[in-house]
Every structure is written in structure tokens, then in C-alpha cells.
Amino acid sequence: LDAGTQFLFDGGVNFNIYGTLKAIGTESDSIIFDNYGDERWRGFTLENASDQTTFEYVRISGAEKDNGGGMYLYSSNPTLTHVTISNNTATHGGGMYLEYSNPTLTHVTISNNTAEGFGGGMYLYASSNPNLTHVTISDNTAGVFGGGMSLYSSNPTLTNVTISNNGPISEDGNSRGGGMYLNNESSPTMTDVIISNNIANDEGGGIYCQNGSSP
């Protein structure tokens, strides 16, 4: 896909990738994927996609589906560089949902996404171990656990990452792990990570660890 291309989806459209996609924009001319009209599009789904799949200088917003509003990865390891994923909605993983996937994210911003359940910014499930470097996860909300990130049996590597201003959708009900929620022996490796100004109604404003999990 050429730099400067805009994809504006009118209605509940899926963008599914089963092979290789190279969406490569430039610093001054990003590739944009967004909503057009009242009905939101359904974001990206990468299923067994090639490891050569690349998103560079790309903006993904305005999408909504059950898992991974902006991007759902199943057994896929794309490379994301200078990507913004914002204003997407899902049941779990408002920005991204990873399942058996190990993508590489560098200079990525995941912000203002919403999940009704787990992982407002990101939900890492079932042995998903991405590498995040110079990533910002901010201003995301979740209804239950993990306003910024929710991890289940996953061990990501975070380097120079900021997780801030994430929290619950409302002040009612229980929520845990405003910044990060770790479950089922999730054990992230974190270097130069800032976790600040996150909110949980119940426990773990910054991080909540459950069932043998530890940062």
C-alpha cells in the first residue's frame, strides 16, 4: 500500500490478512485506516499472516469488533513501526488482541481505546510474547481488568514503555489493574518502564498480579 493512502470504511467492513501485507507510509504521509459514516468498520484481522507483514507510519482508528477493535492477531508476528492505534472499541482488547502471536512494536502509540471486558489498550492471550520498544499505552479504558494491558499466560518484553492514564470505564463496579493486569503466570520483562496515573476501582491501580503472575 502506497504512502498517503486513506482507507475510509462505510459500514461493518473487515480487513482480513492471511498472507502478506506491506503498508508502508512515511513520516509526512501516513497510511490511514478509519471509519466513514455512522457504522464503525471492524478493524484488522491477521490469521496465520506472514512474518513479512509490515505496518509503518500507519494510523488505525474508528473500528469495533468482539476481540481486538483495531487489530486482532492469531498466530501472526507482524512488525509495527511508527503506528498509532486509537479510538477503537472491543469486548476484549480495545486497541489490540493477541492470540499465539509475537509481533514487534517500535515507536507505537496505543491510546483512547475501550474494552468492555479485559485490556483497554492491549489483551495478550495464550502465549503471546510481543516485543515492545518505545511504546506508549495511554488513556485507554476497560470495564473489568487491565485498563492499559491485560496479560493471560503471556510474557512480553517491554523496553522504554510508558503506561499512563489508563483505567476503568466508570466509577461503578470492580476493576483491577489500571495499568496492567497479569493472570495465569504471566511474567513480563520490563526495562525502563514508566507506569503512572492509572486507576482501578478495586485493586492494583498500577499493576495487579493474580495466579502466580509477576512482573
* Beta partners for residue 185, in sequence order: none
Taking CA atoms, 202 is separated from 112, 124, 135, in Å, by 22, 22, 27
> What cell was used for 170?
466508570
- Mean pLDDT throughout 177-192? 96
Q: What's the confidence (pLDDT) of residue 212?
A: 78
- Mean pLDDT throughout 48-73? 98
Q: Sorting pLDDT into bands at 50, 70 and 90, what band is 186?
A: very high
* Residue range 15-51, pLDDT digits in tens: 999 999 999 999 999 999 999 988 999 999 999 999 9
DSSP symbols for the chain: --TT-EEEE-SS--EEESS--EEE-BTTB-EEEEE-SSS-B--EEEES--TT-EEEEEEEESBEEEE-SSEEEES---EEEEEEEES-EEEE-SSEEEES---EEEEEEEES-EESSB-SSEEEESS---EEEEEEEES-EESSB-SSEEEES---EEEEEEEES-EESSSSS--B-SSEEEESS---EEEEEEEES---SSB-SSEEE-TT---
Kindly tell me if the per-residue pLDDT of 171 is higher than 90: no
Q: Would you give the distance in Å from CA 87 to the centre of its chain?
A: 11
Q: What's the confidence (pLDDT) of residue 149?
A: 98
Q: What's the confidence (pLDDT) of residue 38?
A: 87
Kindly tell me if the per-residue pLDDT of 169 is higher than 90: no
Name the burial class of residue 188, with classes exposed (0-12), middle (13-18) and buried (19+) by CB atoms within 10 angstroms of its CB.
Answer: buried
